[in-house]
Chains A and B, each alone.
Chain A
Amino acid sequence: TQLLEQSPQFLSIQEGENLTVYCNSSSVFSSLQWYRQEPGEGPVLLVTVVTGGEVKKLKRLTFQFGDARKDSSLHITAAQPGDTGLYLCAGGSYGNKLVFGAGTILRVKS
């Protein structure tokens, strides 16, 4: 069974601070995705990374896929209250099914 562990589970920071969320597994994934979910809504895809060592940037968000394709990180620079939400990583296998981590709840205080 493939498992993804996310850390930290909960993060409360002040506006303007930087933060990093980690997603780790003992399994190799064909792709790794990050989603953001707001209360009462479904998750929204932020990024997909497929190549070991790949780095993608989305404005203030930087996503990295580990060289061995077992882990990933999400770094947010100068966090804003609008970044508040549940961040989920998800690993893809060659059978299309995604396995989700338990999520990181981020609260950014103004």
Chain B
Amino acid sequence: NAGVMQNPRHLVRRRGQEARLRCSPMKGHSHVYWYRQLPEEGLKFMVYLQKENIIDESGMPKERFSAEFPKEGPSILRIQQVVRGDSAAYFCASSPGGPHGYTFGSGTRLTVV
């Protein structure tokens, strides 16, 4: 029973390029969440999605960031025209909904050079 799969694990982008981060939730989980983490800090909420719907995007920057969770395929977090300040670890988590804990992926570490 595979857990939450994120890829790539590491991503290096030059300033101005696009970054695409992928997340496949656990089997049976229809709720997906994206969080961002700076070194030795807590996780900052970005967006909460269910299949084909964005439920809460209150943590997403207004520009350059977008997320989707299509009917088929993984959830995608897309960052356009990356800047150095976007360098961070981005974690995806999934849950079956309700008062259940999240299952996290291993994260994608984005470095903008």
Which residues of A approach B to under 8 Å, CB–CB? 6, 30-31, 33, 35, 40-45, 48, 50, 86, 88, 90, 92, 95-103, 105
Contact = CB atoms under 8 A, between A and B. Distances in A.
Q: Count chain A CB atoms within 10 A of each CB in B33, B97, B98 and give the residue with the most.
A: B98
Interface residues of B, number: 27
The prevalent SS among residues of A at the interface is strand
Contacts of A45: 101-103
Given A42-B106, A92-B99, A98-B102, A103 B35 contact: no
15 contacts: A30-B99, A42-B91, A42-B105, A43-B91, A44-B104, A45-B101, A86-B40, A92-B99, A95-B55, A96-B55, A96-B95, A99-B45, A100-B43, A102-B42, A105-B40
A105 B4 CA distance: 25
B42 A88 contact: yes
Contacts of A101: 42
Nearest to B107: A42
Given A44-B104, A92-B99, A98 B33 contact: yes
Interface of B: 4, 31, 33, 35, 40-45, 48, 55-56, 91, 93, 95, 97-107
Contacts of B56: 95, 97
B41 A102 contact: yes
A42 B28 CA distance: 20
Contacts of A88: 42-43
B107 A31 contact: no
A69 B105 CA distance: 28
A90 B40 CA distance: 16
